[in-house]
């Protein structure tokens, strides 16, 4: 479900998948999701879910940094 203010899309909500951290999850825009996955893993982080397609044509991952802090990344789909 997308959250819009006027014509601007400001967010989205979705059910959490199994194994994903609970709570609000901030997503950051990246140019390429596959490169982002490689950088998360190389930096000692963990990818919990994805890459997966989401409505609107983007690809996203749910990840955490080496300290376990969760975040999401979104990139244009192919």
Indicate the pairing of strand 58-64 with strand 70-76. Answer: antiparallel
Residue ranges in the chain modelled with pLDDT below 70: 1, 19-21
pLDDT of res. 37? 98
**What are the residues whose beta carbons fall under 8 Å from the beta carbon of 18, sequence distance 6 or more?**
none
The domain spans of the chain are 2-76
* Residues pairing with 52 in the sheet: 60
> Tens of pLDDT along 43-62?
999 999 999 998 888 999 99
Tracing tokens 């959250």 back to the chain, one arrives at 3
User: How is domain 2-76 classified at the CATH fold level?
Assistant: 2,3-Dihydroxybiphenyl 1,2-Dioxygenase; domain 1 (3.10.180)
* 45 alpha-carbon distance from chain centroid: 14
Q: Do residues 61 and 73 lie in contact, with contact meaning Cβ atoms separated by under 8 Å?
A: yes
Q: Do residues 60 and 52 lie in contact, with contact meaning Cβ atoms separated by under 8 Å?
A: yes
pLDDT of res. 40? 98
């Amino acid at each position: 479900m997308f959250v819009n203010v006027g014509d601007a899309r400001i967010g989205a909500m979705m059910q959490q998948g199994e194994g994903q951290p609970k709570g609000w999850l901030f997503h950051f825009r990246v140019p390429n999701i596959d490169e982002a996955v490689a950088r998360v893993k190389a930096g000692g982080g963990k990818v919990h879910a994805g890459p997966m397609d989401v409505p609107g044509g983007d690809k996203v991952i749910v990840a955490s940094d080496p300290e376990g802090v969760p975040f999401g990344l979104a990139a244009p789909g192919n």
